[in-house]
Amino acid sequence: MSRSDLQEEADERAPAHVQGAASFSKFMTVLQIIADAPGTLDIAQLTKRAPFPRGTVYRLVSALIAEGLVTQSGEGGTFRLGPRLLQFAAKTWEDSDLRAIARDFLVSLRDAIDEAVHLAVPSNNRMVYIDKLVGSSRVQMKTSIGGQVELHSTSVGKAWLSGLPEKRLLEVIQSLELRRHTAKTFTTPEALLDELKRTREQGFAFDDEENEPDIRCIGSPIFNRSREPVGAVSISMPVYRHDARRHELCARLVRQTAKQISAELSRMV
């Protein structure tokens, strides 16, 4: 019998309150693994990453699916966080001070440029969209509130990274898996650090089709009273609607919006 099997038997013999805590911890472990790799792990890959016996992982996933906390794309498909969990998160984001403070500024930014505008915050080495406003065009990014994106390949991620103090920045970059999404993705720490230096100097990050083809985004960091980066605001558009004139305009507007939100956040928090 394996060590994990023996541990599972020990859990089952433990007092009820300890057993409940152990079970909750297992559920959270599986949820975190799925959250860290949304839509990429099937059951075989999940059992390899989870530190539990295969049977335990099957039972945990089945229970999570039954409660709407996890979804599976077809029979034998990959897993994502489910609608119920996202509903819980959405209620938190709706009450977020940052989201409330930023909303009017996001509306003004969207109206000025007529493109999709996002507000994102860091979470577990990713950025999570907590607000989104779209422009009038039928062609829009397929993003949603609650969606997670990586730090190194997006304008909101690079904007947030650029606001970190040097020591913390190096620690975060060392912990990242710099996955290639397109031919333009920065996949080495050295290249990413050079890009973040440019981002700091110009006051905005530029995602030049680095996260997905045919999409460009411009983002700027939001700071709290202590000058810690707490999020980022961005403008996103298809490549065919982006040119040098609009690039300059978007960069100016997104910097201005981020500064306005930061100033308001500093006064109210």
Between 5 and 81, the more confident residue is: 81
Quick check: 108 pLDDT over 90?
A: yes
The Cα 134–Cα 115 span in angstroms is 6
Quick check: 4 pLDDT over 60?
A: no
| pLDDT, tens digit, 9 for 90 and up, residues 10-58 | 444 444 444 567 788 888 888 889 888 877 888 888 888 889 998 898 8
Residue 53 and residue 9 in contact, taking contact as beta carbons nearer than 8 Å: no
Token pair for 67: 């409660």
pLDDT at 124: 80
| pLDDT, tens digit, 9 for 90 and up, residues 75-95 | 778 888 887 776 666 555 544
| pLDDT, tens digit, 9 for 90 and up, residues 168-227 | 999 999 999 999 999 999 999 999 999 999 999 999 999 999 999 999 999 999 999 899
Residue 81 and residue 69 in contact, taking contact as beta carbons nearer than 8 Å: yes
